[in-house]
Amino acid sequence: MTLLRTPTALLGFTILVVLALIALLAPLLFPADPLAIAGPALLRPFQDASLPLGTDRLGRDVLAELVHGARTSLLVGLAAAATSIIVGSVVGTLAGFIGGIVDEVLMRITDAFQTVPGFLLALAFVSVVGPSLPVVVLAIALSAWTGPARVARAEVLSIRERDYVAGARAIGMHPLKIAFREVLPNALPPVLALSSVIVAAAVLTEAALSFLGLGDPNRITWGGMIAEGRAVLRSAPYLSIIPGIALVVTVLGVYLAGEGVVEASAARKVRA
């Protein structure tokens, strides 16, 4: 497989597959509520076989939290990426395909969102609406959709002059139908290439929001765990190091795999 040609891409995909398995199997591995109090507070890792990674400030099982945290963290990343890519490509397609005043308006809006620092926007949005998982996802997507929108628009601009589009016009197809049936699918690949960057950024943004106390308290996320652990950064460093490592590994995996995809598609293009 071309995808797995480079060792780094192989590493990236391995990480992602393992993570996905952990996330999917979390309810089977740890059926109990991961937020339940399972033992004495601040138990260090490798002391108790039933609580291998120790416990947190309230005595919750760190391993169970970590595994369930994989679910939410990946969910946040994927949902934010999906939302921003869908919104971005729709906006980009409309702007690029219709052109004129619509293009102008949509692009100025895109500019506006790009001009405001994304994290500031997310911070304001979550503080105002109140922290819950969907709100956090939306807040991240709010600043991340502009990249896909720009790329999609650029692609659409080059595609819309091609023959098959002209053909579709000639047979009297509805312009919106042309835009979304004929043009968008062809414009999508370079947009999708952005997804790894967005997923990685989303996981990190969620962590930063949790750090500022803006995470969903009913769900466990790695960012939330790190934020919780920082009060005891000196006396119980494992509480922030363990989820920190998980975060680093995930972001690394997503990034490397994403790069593998880009390299592979580049290689395919060269051959084609």
Partner 1 sequence: MNRALRLIRRRLIASIPVLAIVVLGTFFLLEAAPGDAVDAYAASLGGDAGLSADLRAQWGLDQSVWGRLAAYLYALAHLDFGRSVIFSRPNLDVILERLPNTLLLMGSATALSFGLGSLLGIWAGAKPGSLRDRLLSVGSLAIYAVPGFWLGLVLIVIFAVQLRWLPLSGIETIASSKEGFARAGDIALHLILPVGALGLIYLALYLRMMRAGMTEVWRTDYVLAARARGLPRRRIVLRHVARNALTPLVTMLGVQSAAMLGGSVVIESVFSIPGLGRLAQESVAGRDTSLLLGIILISAVVVILINLIVDLAYALLDPRVGASEVQS
Partner 2 sequence: MPPLSLNRRSFIAGSSVLLASTALPTIGFAQAVQKGGRLIVAADSEPRNLNPAIVASNGVFFIASKVIEPLAEASYEGEDGLAPRLATSWEGSDDGLSVTFKLRENVKWHDGSAFSSNDVAFSALNVWKPLQNLGRTIFKDLEAVETPDATTAIFRFSRPTPFQLIRNALPVVSSVLPKHIYETGDIANNPANIQLVGTGPFKFAEYKPGEYYRLTRNEDYWGDDTPYLDEIIYRVLPDRGAAASALEAEEIQLAAFSMVPLADLDRISKVEGIEVISKGYEALTYQLVVEINHRRKELADLKVRQAIAHAIDRDFVVKTIFLGYAETATGPVPKNDPQFYTGDVATYPFDVAKANALLDEAGYPRNADGIRFSLKLLPAPYFNETRQFGDYLRQALATVGIEAELVNNDAAAHQKAVYTDHAFDLAIAPTVFRGDPAISTTILVQSGIPDGVPFSNQGGYKNTELDALIDKAASELDETKRTELYKEFQKLVATDLPLINVADWGFITVARTSVKNVANNPRWAVSNWADTWIET
Alpha-helix residue ranges (DSSP H) falling in the chain: 7-29, 62-98, 100-115, 118-129, 133-144, 146-159, 163-170, 175-177, 184-192, 195-211, 222-229, 238-271
Residue 182 or 216 with smaller CB distance to partner 2: 216
Question: What binding mask, one character per residue, do residues 29-68 give for partner 1 by CB under 8 A, x or -?
Answer: ----------------------------------------
Is residue 139 within 8 A of residue 209, CB to CB? The reply is yes
Residue 138 or 251 with smaller CB distance to partner 2: 138
Based on C-alpha coordinates, what's the Rg of the chain?
22
Closest distance to partner 2 from the beta carbon of 268 (Å): 47
247 belongs to the binding site for partner 1 (CB under 8 A): yes
Closest distance to partner 2 from the beta carbon of 63 (Å): 18
Single out the residue of 125, 165, 179, 183 in contact with partner 1 (rule: CB under 8 A): 125
226 belongs to the binding site for partner 1 (CB under 8 A): yes
Out of partner 2, partner 1, none, what residue 45 binds, judged by CB under 5 to 8 A for its kind, is none
Out of partner 2, partner 1, none, what residue 180 binds, judged by CB under 5 to 8 A for its kind, is none
Residue 51 or 261 with smaller CB distance to partner 1: 261
Closest distance to partner 2 from the beta carbon of 168 (Å): 50
Closest distance to partner 2 from the beta carbon of 210 (Å): 10
d(CA 142, CA 110): 10
127 belongs to the binding site for partner 1 (CB under 8 A): yes
List beta partners, residue 61. Answer: 55
Is residue 142 within 8 A of residue 125, CB to CB? The reply is yes
Closest distance to partner 1 from the beta carbon of 244 (Å): 6
d(CA 246, CA 9): 18
Which residues are near partner 2 by CB under 8 A?
Answer: 33, 35-37, 41-42, 57-59, 127, 130-131, 213, 215-218, 230-236
Residue 9 or 63 with smaller CB distance to partner 2: 63
d(CA 126, CA 145): 17
User: To 10 degrees, what angle do helices 146-159 and 184-192 make?
Assistant: 140
Out of partner 2, partner 1, none, what residue 120 binds, judged by CB under 5 to 8 A for its kind, is partner 1
d(CA 10, CA 101): 46
Count other C-beta atoms under 10 Å from residue 84's C-beta. 28
d(CA 159, CA 221): 41
Backbone angles phi, psi at 261, to 5 degrees: -60, -45
Residues in contact with partner 1 by the rule CB under 8 A: 7-8, 108-109, 111-112, 114-120, 123-125, 127-130, 143, 200, 204, 207-208, 211-212, 223, 226, 230, 233-234, 240, 244, 247-252, 255-256
